[in-house]
A = this chain, B = another copy of it.
Amino acid sequence: MADDSIEEVVKDAGEVPEIKYEYLDHTADVQLHSWGSNLTEAFEQNGMAMFGYMTELDTVDIKEKHEIIANAEDLDGLLYHFLDELLFLFSAEPYLICKKLRIEEFDTEAFKIRCSCFGEQFDLAKHPQGTEVKAITYSAMQIVQKPEKCEIFVIIDI
């Protein structure tokens, strides 16, 4: 049948019907895997992984510095709130997209982080639109601490 002339095929096909469909409930997630020589570096890298998903970090310059503070009851919670605070920096004033994170204080007893965030205001004219991060999740969260290396796995909803 594929050997018919195009004219014959078009005639056979007839009119193209109107659209009677729609797309619902697009759900997606991605797992951020980061590592470092210690917990501090692995946390910083995980935050950067999140920003790297939002835009092309090569286009981002350092122009502003902001500070976030995260508190929690345990280490998983601290990771969650750390990422959530970073996401909030982006989602509202100052709409910051980070180029570098530096954790200034990491209290693993009181589960508190103070972090300097370097970057600039997100600008669609300068920064390619990446994927919107909708939420951080606790799903399959892993913080693996070894003497020589620390690894983190976090799933974010996109």
Contacts and interface: CB of A to CB of B under 8 A. Distances in A.
Contacts of A2: 64-66, 94
Interface in A112-138: 116, 118
Interface string A1-16: 1101010011011101
Report which residue of A1, A2, A21 has the largest number of chain B beta carbons within 10 angstroms of its beta carbon.
A21
A17 interface: yes
Interface stretch (A34-42, A69-77, A78-86): A34-42
Given A26-B28, A27-B28, A65-B2, A35 B10 contact: no
Interface of A: 1-2, 4, 6, 9-10, 12-14, 16-17, 19-36, 41-42, 44-46, 48-49, 52-53, 62-67, 94, 99-100, 102, 116, 118, 153
29 contacts: A2-B94, A4-B65, A9-B63, A9-B64, A10-B62, A12-B116, A13-B65, A13-B116, A13-B118, A14-B100, A16-B99, A17-B44, A17-B100, A19-B52, A21-B32, A21-B33, A21-B45, A21-B48, A22-B33, A22-B49, A23-B53, A24-B32, A24-B33, A25-B30, A26-B28, A26-B30, A26-B31, A27-B29, A28-B28
